[in-house]
Amino acid sequence: VKVIAGNTSLQSLFIDLEYLKNNKKFIHIMTRGCISIAKKIFGEKRVMNYLYADFLKKNINEKSYDAVVGFQEGQCNDFVAKCNAKKRIFWIHNNYENLPERSKGFKESYEVADKIIFVANASMETFKLSLPQYADKMCLIKNILLQNKIKDSSLEEIADNEIFSSSSLNIISVGRIAPQKAFDRVIEVVKKLLEKNKEFCWIIVGEGPQREELKRKVKANGLSDCIKFIGARKNPFPYIKQSDLFVLTSIYESQPMVIMEALTIGVPVISTNFPSSKELLADESYSLIVDNNVEGLYRALEEILRNQTRIKVMREETKNFQYNNDEIILKLFEVINS
């Protein structure tokens, strides 16, 4: 495996700004600022195309590749569009209509794509509505789920085990603390549940731009005993396994892997209603799909907390969760070899 590291310009753009600040990457932060100014003067497309071309000329384009894969919508696919390759394969992991403009990528990039792959049918259908001229390039290949590795990883010991309640229900959510994930709903749901004197602990694993703001709101509302933002964990699976229930609060997702990871470990799921959650969970006895708002989450959790035997039944039903990796791998081979 040969790894070609990005240069300072590309790293400054693609590495999370919060990470750059926390790790005092001042050259990258300054470079990012300069590029932002250049974009305002010359336009996003012109500046990004220059940066891609400059990097490719110095590092990659002296060689032609059999295939180049952009495994993320937006800039990754724009970069691949500039590569010297016999085949260019784009991946899109989110609903195109919900993406911010800079994450949709340049429309002309799709002209040179040989295949555009989606991880959920709902995502593919929304893309077709926006760019129907590329329908013949589109195909559905779901993400691979490494179930054995997930199960093994979930058996590791947790150093901060005291975050879990020994006397009440433990709820867990995992994800980037950002608007799409809608973790702000947790505060409103918990306030309503506490009015009913329900006992529980809700643990949120993840980092992101909203974390500190939400922690302040939790403290201001006196909810620190039952809502715990514990930050990111290199291995979140032991935390999920030790919980009674996994809750996905997102406004939208493409293929929510974290749902399948929780089910693999044997933890039942409550998810907000969006197209790909229906694809995964519709009519399944180990999960509940609720209205995509605070009230929907509240009603489901209030019922669960009132009748906790239902969680035991749902947990038992997770044994019926199945996922076919072999079929996915065959589809990947077909795309590469076609």
pTM of the model: 0.83
Beta carbons of 250 and 299 less than 8 angstroms apart? no
Phi, psi of 93 (to 5 degrees): -105, 10
Query: In which order are the strands placed within the sheet that holds 115-118?
Result: 68-70, 88-92, 115-118, 138-140
The single-letter DSSP state of residue 200 is: E
Torsion, Cα 216 100 68 54, to 10 degrees, reads -90
Tell me the pLDDT of the chain (338 aa) as tens digits: 788 888 999 999 888 888 888 889 999 999 999 999 999 999 999 999 999 999 998 887 667 788 899 998 999 999 999 998 899 999 998 888 878 887 888 989 999 999 999 998 888 998 999 999 999 999 999 999 999 999 999 999 998 889 999 889 999 999 999 999 999 999 999 999 999 888 899 999 999 989 999 999 999 999 999 999 999 999 999 999 999 999 999 998 888 999 999 999 999 999 999 988 988 898 889 999 999 999 999 999 999 999 989 999 999 999 999 888 999 999 988 888 88
Residue 207 backbone phi and psi in degrees, to 5: -120, 170
- 291 CB-side CA count, 13 A: 7
